[in-house]
Copies of this chain bind each other. A is one copy, B any other.
Amino acid sequence: MADRKRLFLLTNDDGINARGLSSMIDLVRPKGNVFVIAPDQAQSGMSHAITVKYPIRIQKQKEEDGLIIYSCNGTPVDCIKLALNKLLNRLPDMILSGINHGSNSSTSIVYSGTMAAAIEGCLNGVPSVGFSLLDYSPDAEFAGIIKYVDAIIENVIHRGLPDGICLNVNFPVNHSNEVKGIRICRQNKGVWREEFDQRTDPQNRDYYWLTGEYFNLEPEAIDTDEWALKNGYVSVVPVHVDLTSYESLDYLKSWKFNPPVGGSA
């Protein structure tokens, strides 16, 4: 046991100084060695973006017993790639992303840097979980949900995740002990409808700010993450990275391609 402590790799998309990341560091330090690499500023909405146009720089912020912290000018996925391919000399035992300030449930998963980091870990064969609290405030309070974060991490440690599966965990906003429990869910169908806030700058040129509102496309469903969160539960969605719609394969195979393009399957 003593010869090999568990190694946790942590990142987020709110940046190195976010409270949600500090809460996660505090939680996992007693469990093993902790290596943190997180963006030097907020990278919300960066999804699975990687940095190819600009050089990536990192800076060691701290190194003390069992804890190393780097900041990085790249995206959350850059952070994971750097850690796995350059900075660590072995695969971590687990990748933990977050705790994010704000929801990554339902369709928001596709925009989320937090979940992209977890998915990147998963693609590389590391058990990975993204955690998000439905509170965008920089002062969001994580104390009330930590025992649930811990319960999920302990299950991943002791029971494991299936190959190619990571978890998208979201927490309802927590006042005192309002959380009712943990629900295993599917991803809700929804869409962000955007309002673009149009303004004019001092040079008289128009510009836009993206602002959006989430629409639930299946408000009656009770097996989704949206339902769980709205009803005071923690939502846990098992996530994979195969985007194939298997049920559409036969339909597409019935298409005729004109001009004839021999050999269509």
Contact = CB atoms under 8 A, between A and B. Distances in A.
B182 A85 contact: no
Interface stretch (A1-9, A18-26, A27-35, A50-58): A50-58
A186 B123 contact: no
Contacts of A184: 249, 252-253, 255, 264-265
A255 B189 CA distance: 25
A153 to B, nearest CB: 11
A106 B81 CA distance: 18
Copies of the protein in its oligomer: 2
Interface stretch (A61-69, A92-100, A233-241): A233-241
A119 B58 CA distance: 32
A94 B53 CA distance: 30
Interface in A169-227: 179-187, 189, 191-196, 198-199, 201, 205-210, 223
A218 to B, nearest CB: 11
Chain A facing B: main interface SS: mixed
A42 interface: yes
Interface in A140-179: 147-148, 151-152, 154-155, 159, 162, 164-165, 167-168, 179
B151 A257 contact: yes
Contact of A110 (B48, B57, B233): B48
Contacts of A252: 167, 184, 236, 238
A210 B256 CA distance: 41
Nearest to A208: B56
A239 B154 CA distance: 34
A245 B58 CA distance: 34
A116 interface: yes
A56 to B, nearest CB: 4
A125 B190 CA distance: 11
A78 to B, nearest CB: 7
Contacts of A77: 47, 111
Interface in A248-265: 248-249, 251-253, 255-259, 261-265
A238 B248 contact: yes
15 contacts: A47-B50, A56-B209, A84-B194, A107-B241, A110-B243, A123-B191, A124-B191, A147-B259, A181-B261, A181-B263, A182-B265, A183-B263, A184-B253, A186-B249, A237-B244
